Amino acid sequence: MPFGAHMSISGGVSKSFARGEQVGIEVMQIFSKNDRQWQASPYTADEIAAYKAEQARTAIGPVVVHDSYLINLAAPGDELWEKSIAAFADELERCAQLGVGYIVTHPGAHTGSGEAAGLQREADALNRLFAEGVGAGVTVLLETTAGQGSSLGWHFDHMARLFELVRFPERLGLCVDTCHLFAAGYDIRSEETYNATFAALDAAVGLNHVRVFHLNDSQKDLGSRVDRHAHIGQGCIGLEAFRLLVNDARFQRLPMIIETPKGKEMTEDVENLTLLRSLVQP
């Protein structure tokens, strides 16, 4: 089972591989640019070459990109919607340039227009980009969310609806975040509830669409609808859920990526990854 973490791209996207090597990961998630800015300078040929050389040297992969949190493809207002589409198009093209196959995105927030309208808006944006061939070869992974505010994607029915509305199924997949799942009200703490939750996801969308997992414990309790990540086994989810997940044969080849809190030395990543690996049964 390939374990990884979200790594900083400070100093350039190629620098993320040395950081990943430092904490001992097999797979990795990064931002394609500064996630707090709408726009960034295009990659140079040298930056792309350095990225690909470092990936070849470290053999870390696959690499997954997470898009900027500024983007809201479900926005009801045309100004933000168009700005978000342009920014997401840039993210898709950056992935294509680097040879990254997956980009993770939150399904956006309806900000008062209602869930049905927000889901339609999200699908319209994706359909437009896919019809234009933007980022050809890059699969968009809709991430399960905690459901804060007017965020979409916290209920499996939201994901099912998006898979119905998007006309390019080959370019769509799922990223399941354990913290978000739990905060949204889906219990995974016992074998019974774990099985029930994934049976519900399978019925709604199909487990064959799951491409990546985010492994995070939760600071907040079941159904809190609050997104606060905690170290593995130190939050309200506890270790048993992660033991069940990392030993689930259905997911054994999928990237398992932590997004847990960490300091500059990244020792917390090492500790969380070591603990997760210790849960894998031979």
Nearest to 31 by CA among 95, 123, 120, 121: 95
Q: Known catalytic residue: 69? A: yes
Kind and range of the H or E element at 174? strand 172-177
- Active-site position among 6, 19, 66, 211: 66
- Active-site position among 93, 115, 248, 259: 259
Name the token pair of 169. Answer: 């199924």
Q: Known catalytic residue: 51? A: no
Rounded to whole angstroms, the Cα distance separating 255 from 176 reads 11
- Active-site position among 19, 106, 121, 243: 106
- Active-site position among 36, 78, 170, 192: 36
- Active-site position among 67, 91, 177, 269: 177
- Active-site position among 67, 143, 217, 269: 143
Which residue matches tokens 């894998």?
Answer: 280
Which region holds residue 258: left if phi is over 0, alpha if psi is between -120 and 50, else beta?
A: beta
Q: Known catalytic residue: 229? A: yes
- Active-site position among 67, 91, 227, 269: 227
- Active-site position among 161, 229, 231, 243: 229
Which residue matches tokens 């927030």?
Answer: 109
Q: Known catalytic residue: 36? A: yes
Helices (H), 6-155: 16-23, 45-58, 78-98, 115-131
Q: Known catalytic residue: 66? A: yes
- Active-site position among 94, 214, 231, 243: 214
Q: Known catalytic residue: 217? A: no
- Active-site position among 171, 180, 209, 243: 180
Q: Known catalytic residue: 180? A: yes
Q: Which residues are catalytic?
A: 36, 66, 69, 106, 143, 177, 180, 214, 227, 229, 259
